[in-house]
Amino acid sequence: MFIIGERINGMFKDVAKAIKEKDKAAIQSLAKKQIECKANALDVNVGPASSNPREAMEWLVKTIQEAADITLAIDTTKQDVMEAGLSLCKSKPIINSVNANEEKMKALFGLAKKYKASIIGLTMDKAGIPKDSEGRLELAMKMVASCMEHGIDVSRLYLDAVILPVNVAQPHAKEVLKTIRDSKMLSDPAPKTVLGLSNVSQGSQAQYKSLINRTFLSMAIASGLDAAILDVTDKELMDSLITAELLMDKQLYCDSYLDAYRKK
Amino acid sequence: MERLIEKWQDKISEVTIGAKKPVKIGGETGIFFIDGEDKCPNPPKVAMEVWDMEPEAWPETLKANFGKALKTPGEWAKMCAEKFGADIICLRLASIHPDSKNTSSQDAGKVLEEILGAVSIPLIVIGSGSPEKDNDVLLHCANISKGQNCLFGIATQNNYKTLTAACVSNGHSIISEAPIDINIAKQLNILICDMQFPADKIVIHHATGALGYGLEYTYSIMERTRLAGISGDKMLSMPMISFVGQEAWRTKEAKTGAKDTGIMWEITSATAYLNSGADILVLNHPKAVSETKKTINNFTLRQ
């Protein structure tokens, strides 16, 4: 499982404050903590409140890379902010994200080619998020085709079937799981799959969020999920992830399998 | 037709054994001897057994190669190193077993020092198979050979703490053994590492079965271990050792068959284990040593 740490996001108050005050130590400590908790990459999002998102993104990328050598997922909807972030990444970055709009695909697959980036593709377009897995797969296929047209290896495309909060869109969860399973049939080699996990519990009561997250993650791993953007510092969530991978025969069992995973 | 070359994400740790003329094992980035997949940075090594007493159970065809040297471990080791081309000496402290001569830690220490004085190639030191006695004796041996960077064995799930502590405080490497159980092998390596033992000083032994006596079980476990190791499982990405000689010469075919049967048995078993990923083969017969070394050279030259 490829794990992308979600914490460096301006939606969180501490990160917004750190960006505003240019508090490098706060950001670097979040980066290091997530890497300690076994993140393979870190999501970087300046958040909605930033007055100059481009400058904030550049500062975040530089600040993180001063403290850690890790893959970054540049998370923004603005193309100039995206390119500003990508151009500063020392190792091959991840674009978070493209969707199935023609002009978006053209621009962002172009950037993926230019910066040798992997790319997260949300199964949505101008009309929004399809209500079932068939609609999601149709958009997924468009992105697979666009990826191929741009000469990018499809295994660098991470399809995100876009999970919606369970408290407002309950029927979507099982459609997302079906999309994860079926998207493996879209091409050979198949695109990878990813989830922005925490969205599933958005708006649910605080005491249930972690439980909802880890239960859904286990179900998604059983459906063949390859990657997830999640809170790596949530120990119970990570324990569930490791155990689900173990049960899927991705790791060899031993009595200390949780420790073994964390020693990797 | 295009050849599919598998790319593996990780590599086996490199373990250095010995001080005067150290050898390196491990470091593989793929399956041994597959052209294009593994560069075989450190070709497998051949060790020869030397005992601290004359091995009474050995058949004459085997004993005859060493003559009087069987009574003098230093001479025996020198013969293995200089005449028969062993890369490593494997000292088996058979006489310390309470059911054998029940010799003391000091006796074993003298033999160890005698061999260290006689040869400059690296040393493997293994006990007698009596857990309590082995703990006492190996602790003493690890202490007196401090700095020689020997490979000590054998740590098992039920008996690893004393030996691990002795090795860690004297800078030796360790053999961790699980009897054909990959899950226990992984667990044991975690337990050993939990004692602040460096993972790159562990060599895995899965128990060895000779041809016709469980070879295929060990082979497949070793292969699976290697695949897990190069796929990123750090607790299985260690080099492996096979005690081929002791198992081959224990078979009834080797003991009662035609003159060369035992040698053939040893060579055949060794060749199979080479292909399963063994980094050290512990052998007994000089002919098996020379033939196995030829095979290793042929395999690695081809790359």
Domain of residue A88, CATH code: 3.20.20.20
**A115, A93 in Cβ contact below 8 A?**
yes
A257 → chain B, closest CA residue = B187
Cα–Cα distance measured from residue A230 to residue A238, given in angstroms and rounded to the nearest whole number? 9
Interchain proximity A263–B228, CB inside 8 Å = no
Nearest CB among B193, B194, B236 relative to A252 is that of B236
Domains, chain B: 14-296 (3.20.20.20)
Mean pLDDT of A148-161: 97
- % chain B with pLDDT above 90: 83
What number is the average pLDDT over the span A250-262? 92
In a domain, A260, yes or no: no
Q: Average pLDDT, whole number, for chain A?
A: 96
Chain B CB contacts of A253 under 8 Å are 183, 186
| Structural domain includes residue A21 | yes
Cα–Cα distance for residue pair B123/B111, rounded to 1 Å: 12
pLDDT band at residue B218 under the 50/70/90 scheme: very high
Percent of chain A with pLDDT over 90: 97
**pLDDT at residue number B270:** 96
pLDDT tens-digit series, residues B147-182? 999 999 999 999 999 999 999 999 999 999 998 899
A264–chain B nearest CA distance, Å: 6
| pLDDT for B275 | 93
The pLDDT mean for chain B works out to 94
Q: What count of Cα atoms within 13 Å lies in the side-chain half-sphere of residue A80?
A: 5
Cβ separation of A263 and B234 shorter than 8 Å?
yes
* Shortest Cα–Cα distance, B185 to chain A (Å): 8
Mean pLDDT of B92-103: 96
B235·A263 Cβ contact <8 A? yes
Nearest to B183 among A252, A259, A263 (CB): A252
Residues in a beta bridge with B153: B126
Q: What is the pLDDT of residue B33?
A: 82
Q: Is the Cβ pair B182, A264 closer than 8 Å?
A: no
Q: Using a CB-CB distance cutoff of 8 angstroms, which residues of chain B are in contact with residue A251?
A: 233
> Dihedral of CA A131/A137/A138/A142: which sign?
positive
A230 within some domain: yes
The structural domain count of chain A equals: 1
| A256–B233 CB contact, under 8 Å | no
A256 part of a folded domain: no
- Indicate yes or no: CB of B187 within 8 angstroms of CB of A256: yes
Query: B295 at the A interface (CB within 8 A)?
Result: no
Whether the CB-CB separation of B243 and B215 falls below 8 Å is answered with no
Nearest to B189 by CA among B197, B214, B181: B197
Whether residue A159 lies inside any domain: the answer is yes
pLDDT at B303: 52
- State yes or no: pLDDT of B302 exceeds 90: no
Question: Does some domain include residue A71?
Answer: yes
| pLDDT over 80 at B58, yes or no | yes
Substitution target in A2, A155, A252, A261 with the highest count of B β-carbons within 10 Å is A252
Which residues of chain B have a CB within 8 Å of the CB of A2? none
* pLDDT tens, position by position, A187-243: 999 999 999 999 999 999 999 999 999 999 999 999 999 999 999 999 999 999 999
Contacts of A254 in chain B (CB under 8 A): 183-184, 186-187, 190, 235
Q: What tens digit of pLDDT does each residue of A83-141 get?
A: 999 999 999 999 999 999 999 999 999 999 999 999 999 999 999 999 999 999 999 99
Mean pLDDT of A77-88: 96
Kindly report, residue by residue over B13-25, the tens digit of the pLDDT: 999 999 999 999 9
Q: What's the pLDDT at B266?
A: 96
Q: What is the number of alpha carbons within 13 Å of residue B294 lying toward its C-beta? A: 8
Distance CA A101, CA B77 (A): 75
Cβ contacts from A onto B, under 8 A = 34
Place of tokens 């005698």: B114
In a domain, A240, yes or no: no
Say how far apart CA A45 and CA A15 lie, in whole Å.
Answer: 9
A264 contacts B234? CB cut-off 8 A: yes
Compute the average pLDDT of residues A36-53: 93
Q: Flag whether A264 is in a domain.
A: no
Q: What local confidence, expressed as pLDDT, does residue B91 receive? A: 98
Our CA-based measurement puts residue B235 at a distance from the nearest CA of chain A, in whole angstroms, of 7
pLDDT score at A163: 97
Domain span at A90: 2-234
* Contact assignment for A254 to B184 by CB distance below 8 Å: yes
Helix ranges, A115-264 (H): 133-149, 172-182, 206-222, 235-247, 257-263
Structure confidence at residue B27 (pLDDT): 94
